[in-house]
Amino acid sequence: MKNLFLIVFVAAIVFACQPKSQPVVVDLAAAKAEVNTLMETYLTAWNAKDAKTLASLITDDGLYCGTDPSELMDKKTVTDGWTMAFADSTMNYAYTVDKREIRVVSDGNSAIAMEQFTMKAISPKILARLVSHAVKTDDGWKFDFISWSLIPKNEDLGKLYKALE
């Protein structure tokens, strides 16, 4: 019985003397600012038709979704598409952001970002939306998911349904 008490007592002391890990405090405002910088870099590169910079902002294993249901792309496919689209000097794909929202996950290592805008080259009457997921990597923040979509206003849906008949 004495030995059992001694073992329990020693074990309790050993466990009690373990260093306590301090919770990591994440500066969510700083992370949000970094993701905003990523979004600004993307926008600037897009408007400059700079496919090389855009490619540097996305992960190798990401998923990139275009406006067409068939456009589920990997990095090579999306960057090849950017290069081809930007080579057409007659098209102006530039846009300005009407609304941007960024939500950083509590651990500060990933975020969801959304932008809404009108791109006259695609549709001057229907808003576009870019939804992305950004992750913190050894090379800084990068996108591992982007989805581009057209978002008609609810009151315009009837007109669109009629036009598609």
Q: pLDDT band for position 122 (50/70/90)?
A: confident
Q: How far apart are CA 76 and CA 21, in angstroms?
A: 42
Residue 26: the pLDDT is: 82
Residue 107: phi and psi, rounded to 5, are: -80, -5
In single-letter form, the type of residue at position 45 comes to: A
pTM: 0.83
Residue 73: phi and psi, rounded to 5, are: -120, 150
In sequence order, which residues have a C-beta less than 8 Å from that of residue 4 and are 6 or more positions away?
A: none
Q: How far apart are CA 41 and CA 66, in angstroms?
A: 20
Residue 86 in this model has a pLDDT that exceeds 70: yes
Residue-averaged pLDDT of the chain: 90
The tokens for 55 are 């490619």
The tokens for 114 are 């959304």
Q: pLDDT band for position 4 (50/70/90)?
A: low
pLDDT tens per residue, range 5-39: 656 665 656 666 666 666 677 889 999 999 999 99
Residue 72: the pLDDT is: 97
Residue 17: the pLDDT is: 65
Residue 96: the pLDDT is: 93
Q: How far apart are CA 150 and CA 89, in angstroms?
A: 23
Q: Which of 19-23, 87-91, 132-136 has the lowest mean pLDDT?
A: 19-23
